[in-house]
Structure 1
Amino acid sequence: MSRTAQELRPAQELTPSWLLTAIGLAATACIAAACWTAGHVHADASLLTVARFFHVAFLVVGLGSVLAVDWFALLWLTGKRPLAGVLDTAVALQTPIWAGLGGLVVSGLFLRPDLHSPPTLVKLGLVVAVTVNGLWAHRLGQRLEAHRTGPVPRRLLVLSGLAAAVSQTGWWGASLIGFLNSQT
């Protein structure tokens, strides 16, 4: 039996790598299509105001959910909560995380992004990184399920910490760049 198969409980199977890869490629293509579309959408002042409101609302939903998962993970790492609590929270908040991210992409269509601006390109790179990292974090969560009540291998801890760091860097970095871009 492979190491990955040993890490899983019998009833749990990993999402196939090909499916995660396909979703990652499709999501990246959607983000690229949104960028192209944004260059052809000319929102009037009232639509721009509504788009800004929804953009902030989706940021609150997505980033807030990510912060909740990471907070529970920190509590687990400090011995204040069981791993099961982190895993249950992560599963429960997957939908708002992805809805927040998707809503940010859609509402961003109307915000007149300057696709020639290096900070905006960095922000878009961070959005793609958060998206792909979210798929990786999903896989890590599935692997952690096998250790719900027992010790977690060091390698899995390190990979999970790396995923959390990429997530926090991406969400906060994109938020900061978006804020700075809105000031000009």
Structure 2
Amino acid sequence: MARFMHVAALVVGLGAVLAVDWFAVLWLLGRRRLADILNTACTLQVPIWLGLAGLVASGVFLHPDLASPLTRIKLGLVLVITINGLYAHRLGQRLDRYRDEPVPRSLLVPSGAAATVSQLGWWGASLIGFLNSHT
């Protein structure tokens, strides 16, 4: 049951993150309006946080090997994902002022970095979880 809940939480959380980050990439490439990414991020923040919380809660019942270096890296990635999510939320609030104006470069670079950290963290933790489940 814990494994099913873990996978379900991964689908919900990572799926929502993929949607937000995809819109962010399209925005950075000039193919979507800033309002599109901000609306998508606002709409999907609940599934993202529920997915992350579900992963943490169900992960406890999977009895992770805390002595394993891979498990420790995964836990570090989860921490990074959480901090980055809080940072991205704050960044979104700052970007909201520029819905109909050009966004300053000082916000473009951090936006791209936050999306990159998000993807690396979620996929890295998922890959480690997959590898740990097959050992």
User: For residue 45 of structure 1, what is the aligned residue in structure 2?
Assistant: none
The total of aligned residue pairs comes to 135
Pair 1:59 & 2:10 matched = yes
Between Structure 1 and Structure 2, the one with more helix by share is 2
User: For residue 78 of structure 1, what is the aligned residue in structure 2?
Assistant: 29
Identity percentage over the alignment? 71
Contact 2:9 2:54 in 1 (8 A): yes
Q: Which amino acid aligns with 2:20?
A: V
User: For residue 113 of structure 1, what is the aligned residue in structure 2?
Assistant: 64
Question: For 1:115-172, what per-residue CA distance to the aligned partner results, in whole angstroms no more than 9, with x for missing partners?
Answer: 0000000000000000011000000000000111111111100011111111111100
Moved over 3 A (4+): none
The counterpart of 1:124, out of the listed 75, 78, 97, is 75
Q: Please tell me the root mean square deviation across aligned C-alpha atoms, in Å.
A: 0.7
Structure 2: gaps (5+ residues): none
Q: Could you tell me how far 1:77 is from its partner in structure 2?
A: 2.0
Contact 2:16 2:44 in 1 (8 A): yes
Contact 2:13 2:47 in 1 (8 A): yes
Q: Which amino acid aligns with 2:26?
A: L
TM-score computed with the length of structure 1 as normaliser: 0.72
Q: Could you tell me how far 1:93 is from its partner in structure 2?
A: 0.4
The counterpart of 1:160, out of the listed 94, 111, 114, is 111
Structure 1: gaps (5+ residues): 1-49
User: For residue 183 of structure 1, what is the aligned residue in structure 2?
Assistant: 134
Give the stretch that moved more between structures: 68-77 or 120-129.
Answer: 68-77
